[in-house]
Copies of this chain bind each other. A is one copy, B any other.
Amino acid sequence: MSLTPGRPRVVIIGCGFGGIEAVRALAPADVEITLVDRTNHHLFQPLLYQVATAGLSAPAISGPIRHILRKEMQRGNLTILLGEVTRIDAAARSVELDSGKDRIAYDHLIVAAGATHSYFGHDDWAQHAPGLKTLADAFRIRRRVLMAFERAERQRDLERRKACLTFAVVGAGPTGVEMAGMLAEIAHHTLPDEYRHIDSRRARVVLIEGGPRVLGGFTEKLSAKALAQLQTLGVEVLVDAKVSSIDAEGLDYEGPQGAQRINTHTVVWAAGVAASPLGRALADSCGCALDRAGRVVVDADLAVPGHPEISVVGDLAAAKSHPKKGPPTPVPGVSPAAKQMGRTAARNLLKRLRGETTQAFRYVDYGALATIGRHSAIAMVDVPMLGRVQFSGPAAWLFWLFVHIYFLIGFRNRLVVLSDWAWAYFSFERQARVVADPENPPRASS
């Protein structure tokens, strides 16, 4: 296609599921696209916990953005920039990169900056309880988990050794459940016989949930199945337990039995999600409303009220789905929703350029899945003719494997993950148990 001089400039912030889909939908059109991200890779976040638990290497679940979008690149209307958007100027229609180093003008803006962790106002917990959103987060957790066993092996004080061998996961959503299940599997299946002074099977894995049940997004029946599967794996599950403080030596919580303490050096935070700070930056610039989680409240067509040239998609959007029948419903923070929003925002942008009416966003919900460990998972899936079907156990686990391989971006990643999983399944080994940097930044010595 020929590129029209002065064609509309579209800036897309973020290359997660929403951003990538928006680029793909816009690339064939006569627009000039600039995609900005602060990393050089797209990350398949649903499997990030497997990097954190040493089951997969980082390149298996991520790919360079430039490589993923190489076909779109060849059309000649896409620029990819590595940089961090630090300000949005809605009046001047520009975004600022890296605190003013660069400024990019836009005619249309799609913000797909995603979410980060929320410590509910206790930011000091972050140093003791890392969350899991980026590859750097995953490496940090992997290091802490593996180093805890190493410290236990060297520790002679039995109480301290017990604390080294206690792992706490805060939050029993899908990520928390997956983390806890994997930690139990490492302790019980991967590490036994590799230590001389400790028995890794005696490690304690505690999953702490503030609500009344694990995997609250699923039905009560599936949630109960998941609980049973976790307990079979040896995970201690505490529900209705609210964490009140976290320090270097452990955490305190308020449970049904009152205030309790767990001595542990390894806490993983899987509890709170907050919108990217870019939501606040956008609100500062154009006065749009944010919800309690800091997400941008958008119109039915995903545009920012009063700013049809700006759309927000993915975890940063407080969006509603507009079904054919019935009232609008909130959109969950899952990857299929982000992808669908990215596509809808791109299509609505093109409709606007053609002077057509935009479409309200409608989320197509295919179901939900969560895995707990080897042979254990729960699933609720929409099946044509049958409606919503619930199942659990090995069948759900196989289904989970299939879906995750299928949706991985890149043929090579699919092969790598498939072969890594097959190897891990039969050998109980975890291939990525390597810590590049035990604790400190590396030194150059003379």
Q: A residues touching B (Cβ–Cβ < 8 Å)? A: 38-41, 57-60, 62-64, 66-67, 70, 73-74, 76, 78-83, 97, 102, 116-119, 121, 123, 126-127, 130-131, 134-140, 146-147, 150, 153-154, 191, 193-197, 274, 277, 412, 416, 419, 423, 427, 429, 431-438, 441-442, 444-446
Contacts and interface: CB of A to CB of B under 8 A. Distances in A.
Nearest to A436: B135
A155 to B, nearest CB: 10
Contact of A154 (B78, B102, B117): B102
A444 B131 contact: yes
A193 B73 contact: yes
Contact of A40 (B150, B195, B423): B150
A81 B154 contact: yes
B433 A64 contact: yes
Contacts of A274: 445-446
Contact of A438 (B67, B82, B432): B82
Contact of A434 (B59, B81, B433, B435): B59
B40 A438 contact: yes
4 cross-chain pairs, A with B, having the tightest CB-CB distances, nearest first? A126-B444, A135-B436, A66-B194, A82-B150
A165 to B, nearest CB: 15
A82 B164 CA distance: 14
Nearest to A62: B434
A130 B444 contact: yes
Given A66-B195, A67-B429, A445-B274, A41 B82 contact: no
B63 A434 contact: yes
Contacts of A445: 116-117, 274, 277
Given A83-B154, A135-B434, 6 more contacts: A38-B438, A76-B196, A81-B150, A274-B446, A412-B431, A419-B419
Given A130-B444, A134-B442, A59 B431 contact: yes
A135 B73 CA distance: 32
A16 B64 CA distance: 32
A313 B118 CA distance: 51
Contacts of A137: 442
A150 B70 CA distance: 15
B135 A39 contact: no
Contact of A59 (B135, B195, B432, B444): B432
A361 B114 CA distance: 61
A136 B73 contact: no
